[in-house]
Amino acid sequence: MHNSSDIHRGGCLCANVRYVVAAPPLRSAICHCRTCRKAASSPTLPFVTFPAAAFSFERGTPQQFASSADVVRTFCGDCGSPLTYANRADLETIDVMTVSLDNPEDYPPEDHVWVSDKLEWDVIGDQLPSYPKGRTD
Ligand SMILES: [Zn+2]
Ligand SMILES: [Zn+2]
């Protein structure tokens, strides 16, 4: 990844919620699943995975939404930007919405996941690996 430094910052559109991650990213991918699409109101949701222990909000407090029993998503209650995804099945990591990072160009995706859910008109235009479900399913 282009930015393998130890400090990464991002936040929502209105900047009332800001976060910092003090660890290198673990992976970057694009999710096509229906739930991510709805959460983002977008055909895909790119995300970067970081060690959860290195993540903290440094300004504001986001709203939370449990999109399934084990999943908590956060978003800005003022402007609505989706920010993070955390799954109780993997407490070691947190996914940050790639485009909420201050420099999203630094985290190019490595693969596509949940392509089995993909919208037909959303044509993948790169040669990255793609997986019908999660990368490890
Ligand atoms: Zn906001
Ligand atoms: Zn998803």
Confidence of residue 26 (pLDDT cuts 50, 70, 90): very high
Q: What residues have a C-beta under 5 A from ligand 1, the ion?
A: 12, 14, 16, 76, 78-79
Q: Does 93 map to a domain?
A: yes
Domain range for residue 46?
Answer: 8-117
**pLDDT (mean) for 23-40:** 97
Please check whether residue 67 lies inside any domain of the structure: yes
pLDDT tens track for 44-80? 999 999 999 999 999 999 999 999 999 999 999 999 9
Please name which ligand lies nearest the alpha carbon of 117: 2
126 within a domain of the structure (yes/no): no
Report the side by side order of strands in the sheet with 55-59.
8-11, 18-21, 55-59
> What is the number of the ligand closest to the CA of 63?
1
CA of 135 to the centre of ligand 1 (A): 31
Adjacent-strand bridge partners of 113: 31
CA–centroid distance, 9 to ligand 1, in Å, is 15
Q: Please, which residues have CB less than 5 A from ligand 2, an ion?
A: 31, 33, 36
Q: Is 131 inside any structural domain?
A: no
Evaluate whether residue 111 is within a structural domain. Answer: yes
Rounded (5°) CA angle 116-71-1: 65
Number of the ligand closest to the Cα of 47: 2
Give every CB contact of residue 100 below 8 A, 6+ residues apart in sequence.
10, 11, 12, 81, 82, 83
pLDDT of residue 59: 98
Q: How many independent structural domains does the chain possess?
A: 1
For the CA of 100, the nearest ligand = 1
Q: Is residue 44 part of a domain?
A: yes
